[in-house]
RNA sequence: CGGGGAGUGGCUCAGCCUGGUAGAGCACCUGGUUCGGGACCAGGGGGUCGGAGGUUCAAAUCCUCUCUCCCCGACCA
């Protein structure tokens, strides 16, 4: 039996000064975690116990569809060179050398290692499909760790990888994970949503994220209030209301207007008395090359004046990350200072291969529009009557803008809302990326050599705990669902020196434990108030208070989530929990 | 990496502006009283004030450098 008086549960009366978000404050106050350095945490008894329960649920469900491995965290850097990701990951990857000077890295994910096993061992379609997973520590040297356990440099991830003979097989593996993830998060008692996610710079593949809404999150998710549409802001689309074009000014040809000192969209629109919707926003960017010695390429993006660039969408179209141009670079392309840029009168590359000229990507919202206002590429001047295709030719039209709250759903026309959320799981169709770069091949039923097609699937273990705390807390502390709480029930005698109370509390704790419940007996020599405050704080969903009413054969059961309290007879206490706790499992 | 904030007993903080030999509350130890929502009384232990250098008769306090942590941004497989 677990006796509080013998355990290390260092609760704090006050939140640590460096904690900002609720989960961080409470996990520290409740004695679950302690910080070692920025983004590096120790898990103490209660924290580890809860995480072990989460891992138990994850493992139980994953074992139904896959096989558990355990891969090294320490990888030879060569392996990452093979996949080409050593450069891509940049400084986010921890790097070190062994005593012989060999370059090693700490694993931030395990596609490379899993693929290295697959390519050596998998020979035939008869061995497929395979689903391999592990629960293991990941290391990522984040630019800015933050929010307690929400973004850290070392954490536990359940990562799974599927290998199939063809795309249809991948669909099956993907769906299995989708369903399994739903079961896992349901069992963990989370209120989550599944959203379509950005499929990365490679494009084409399908991806879903499992999200828990909380203001502490770092992701923005778009969802429809009328239908089931939900997507990460990086990926979301919306339907735009039609915009009335301006009438042609003058003879309809390009017409310069003097706009002294009016640089921003807002200023110019106001100055000219038009809506930003009739303006073109011209953004000047450069590609970021993996090899720092290679010069970037100019990328210009046109958006409707009131729209925001979505960098994830842009990088998917360009195939590379981009950064804003510096003043000098802007001068080279536009011969104009920033603030007065426009697309007209410049020779754009109409095809990606033409690398002498800058690329011009135009958001679809501008397609078919006319008589727009853009910068004149000349200080203090803008130009009217700008009409796409007549005054400039785009490299491509694409969806490049971010959805804004209040726009219409593409599916059903309903209202779209935007919430912040934390990502707890992500499933992804990888395709042939690693099979190809790392040389995994199997023979198909015709004896022909083909690449296995892969998927990868991750769950952030600590984030389940963190999201759960974010989802269920009040000023006194938090409560976890019984399935992932360190203990299901805390039994609190109000005075341990009263032999009757203490004896009864011990009996009850023993009985509940015998019935299979996870019980903590608060046998500390503390005043009742201290015990109640601590019990409220530490995330245990039920409390049994053993007080004066034992003389009547009664104790109190306190449900932390609702703060409901009612009497229960000592004789039937086990039955009470069998009824109230077990169905929740 | 850019901007902002903070480092003083275990925790939360005051003291710094205006230099004079370090404090409070909580926690901890001993004894006693108490016991249904973070008790009370008495006694006690614990800090080279993040580090280094400088100014000064004297530095937690002023100056320079540096390290660490937090927040905003950039970044985020």
Distance, CA of A28 to C1' of B71, in Å = 19
Query: Residue A583: its pLDDT value, please?
Result: 63
Nearest nucleotide from residue A312 CA, by C1' atom:
B76
CA angle A459, A132, A88 (to 5 degrees): 65
Q: What is the 3-state secondary structure (H, E, C) of A444-506?
A: CCCCCEECCEEEEEEEEHHHHHHHHHHHCEECCEEECCCCCCCCCEEEEECCCCCHHHHHHHH
pLDDT in tens, A484-525: 999 999 999 999 999 999 999 999 999 999 999 999 999 999
Query: Residue A337: its pLDDT value, please?
Result: 83
Distance, CA of A17 to C1' of B63, in Å = 29
Neighbour-count burial for A294-312, b at 16+ CB within 10 Å, e otherwise: eebbbbbbbbbbbbebbbb
Mean pLDDT of A172-199: 95
Which of chain B's bases lie under 7 Å from a protein CB? 1-2, 6, 11-13, 25-27, 34-39, 68-77
* Tokens 């992932």 belong to residue: A484
Task: Give the residue whose CA sits closest to B13 at C1'.
Answer: A17
pLDDT in tens, A134-169: 999 999 999 899 889 999 999 999 999 999 999 999
Q: How confident is the model at residue A585 (pLDDT cuts 50, 70, 90)?
A: very low
Q: What is the pTM of this model?
A: 0.93
pLDDT in tens, A86-109: 888 888 999 999 999 999 999 999
Cβ count near A253 (within 10 Å): 12
Distance, CA of A312 to C1' of B1, in Å = 21
Task: Give the residue whose CA sits closest to B37 at C1'.
Answer: A529
pLDDT in tens, A306-333: 999 998 888 888 888 888 888 788 888 8
Nearest nucleotide from residue A426 CA, by C1' atom:
B77
Distance, CA of A176 to C1' of B44, in Å = 64
Distance, CA of A337 to C1' of B16, in Å = 48
Query: Residue A200: its pLDDT value, please?
Result: 61
Average pLDDT of chain A is 93
Mean pLDDT of A8-29: 94
Query: Is residue A245 within 8 Å of A252, Cβ to Cβ?
Result: no
Task: Give the residue whose CA sits closest to B76 at C1'.
Answer: A142
Q: How far apart are CA A436 and CA A202, in angstroms?
A: 13
pLDDT in tens, A53-77: 999 999 999 999 999 999 999 999 9
Task: Give the residue whose CA sits closest to B26 at C1'.
Answer: A13
Strands A519-521 and A2-3: parallel
Query: Is residue A493 within 8 Å of A505, Cβ to Cβ?
Result: yes
Mean pLDDT of A430-449: 95
User: Would you list the DSSP string of A279-340?
Assistant: BEEEEEEEEPPSSTTSPP-EEEEEEETT--B-HHHHHHHHSS-EEEPPHHHHHHHHSS-TTS
Distance, CA of A223 to C1' of B70, in Å = 33
Task: Give the residue whose CA sits closest to B68 at C1'.
Answer: A37
Distance, CA of A530 to C1' of B26, in Å = 13
Q: Which helix (H) or strand (E) holds A557?
A: strand A554-559
Q: How far apart are CA A43 and CA A438, in angstroms?
A: 36
Nearest nucleotide from residue A138 CA, by C1' atom:
B77
pLDDT in tens, A540-574: 999 999 999 999 999 999 999 999 999 999 999 99
Nearest nucleotide from residue A563 CA, by C1' atom:
B37
Nearest nucleotide from residue A477 CA, by C1' atom:
B38
Distance, CA of A54 to C1' of B9, in Å = 38
Question: Would you state the torsion angle of the CA atoms of residues A459, A462, A463, A469, taken in this order, to the nearest 10 degrees?
Answer: 140
Mean pLDDT of A197-226: 85
Cβ count near A500 (within 10 Å): 13
Percent of chain A with pLDDT over 70: 98
Query: Residue A493: its pLDDT value, please?
Result: 97
Residue A202 has pLDDT above 60, yes or no: no
């Amino acid at each position: 039996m677990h006796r509080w008086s013998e355990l290390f549960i260092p609760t704090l009366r006050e939140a640590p000064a460096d904690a900002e978000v609720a989960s961080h404050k409470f996990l520290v106050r409740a004695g679950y975690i302690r910080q070692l350095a920025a983004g590096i945490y120790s898990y103490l008894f209660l924290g580890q116990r809860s995480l072990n329960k989460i891992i138990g649920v994850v493992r139980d469900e994953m074992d139904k569809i896959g096989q558990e491995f355990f891969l090294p965290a320490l990888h030879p850097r060569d392996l990452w060179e093979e996949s080409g990701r050593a450069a891509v990951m940049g400084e986010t990857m921890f790097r070190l050398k062994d005593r012989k000077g060999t370059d090693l890295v700490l694993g931030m994910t395990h596609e490379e290692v899993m693929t290295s096993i697959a390519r050596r061992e998998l020979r035939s379609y008869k061995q497929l499909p395979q689903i391999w997973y592990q629960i293991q520590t990941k290391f990522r040297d984040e630019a800015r760790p933050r929010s307690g356990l929400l973004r850290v440099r070392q954490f536990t991830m359940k990562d799974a990888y599927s290998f199939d003979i063809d795309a249809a097989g991948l669909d099956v593996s993907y769906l299995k994970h989708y369903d399994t993830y739903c079961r896992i998060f349901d069992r963990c008692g989370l209120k989550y949503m599944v959203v379509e996610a950005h499929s990365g710079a490679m494009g084409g593949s399908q991806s879903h994220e499992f999200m828990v809404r909380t203001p502490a999150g770092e992701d923005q998710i778009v969802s429809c209030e009328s239908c089931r549409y939900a997507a990460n802001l990086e990926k979301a689309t919306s339907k735009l209301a039609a915009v009335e074009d301006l009438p042609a000014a003058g003879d309809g040809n390009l017409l310069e207007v003097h706009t002294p000192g009016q640089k921003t969209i807002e200023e110019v629109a106001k100055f000219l008395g038009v809506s930003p919707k009739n303006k073109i926003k011209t953004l000047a960017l450069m590609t970021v090359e993996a090899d720092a010695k290679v010069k970037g390429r100019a990328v210009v993006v046109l958006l409707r004046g009131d729209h925001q660039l979505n960098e994830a969408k842009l990088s998917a179209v360009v195939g590379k990350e981009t950064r804003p141009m510096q003043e000098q670079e802007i001068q080279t392309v536009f011969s104009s200072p920033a603030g007065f840029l426009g697309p007209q009168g410049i020779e754009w590359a109409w095809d990606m291969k033409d690398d002498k000229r800058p690329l011009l990507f135009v958001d679809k919202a501008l397609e078919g529009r006319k008589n727009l206002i853009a910068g004149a590429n000349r200080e203090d001047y803008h130009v009217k009557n700008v009409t796409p295709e007549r005054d400039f030719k785009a490299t491509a039209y694409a969806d490049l803008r971010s959805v804004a709250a209040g726009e219409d759903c593409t599916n059903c026309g309903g209202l779209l809302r935007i919430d912040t959320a934390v990502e707890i799981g992500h499933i992804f169709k990888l395709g042939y990326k690693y099979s190809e770069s790392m040389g995994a091949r199997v023979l198909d039923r015709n004896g022909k050599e083909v690449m296995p097609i892969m998927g990868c699937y991750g769950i952030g273990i600590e984030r389940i705990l963190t999201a759960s705390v974010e989802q269920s807390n009040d000023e006194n502390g938090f409560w976890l669902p019984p399935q992932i709480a360190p203990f299901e029930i805390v039994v609190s005698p109000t005075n341990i020196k009263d032999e009757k109370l203490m004896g009864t509390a011990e009996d009850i704790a023993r009985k509940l434990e015998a019935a299979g419940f996870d019980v903590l007996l608060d046998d500390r020599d503390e005043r009742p108030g201290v015990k109640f405050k601590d019990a409220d704080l530490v995330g245990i969903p039920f409390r049994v208070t053993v007080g004066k009413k034992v003389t009547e054969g009664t104790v109190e059961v306190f449900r932390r989530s609702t703060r409901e309290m009612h009497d229960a007879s000592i004789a039937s206490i086990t039955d009470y929990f069998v009824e109230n706790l077990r169905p929740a499992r």
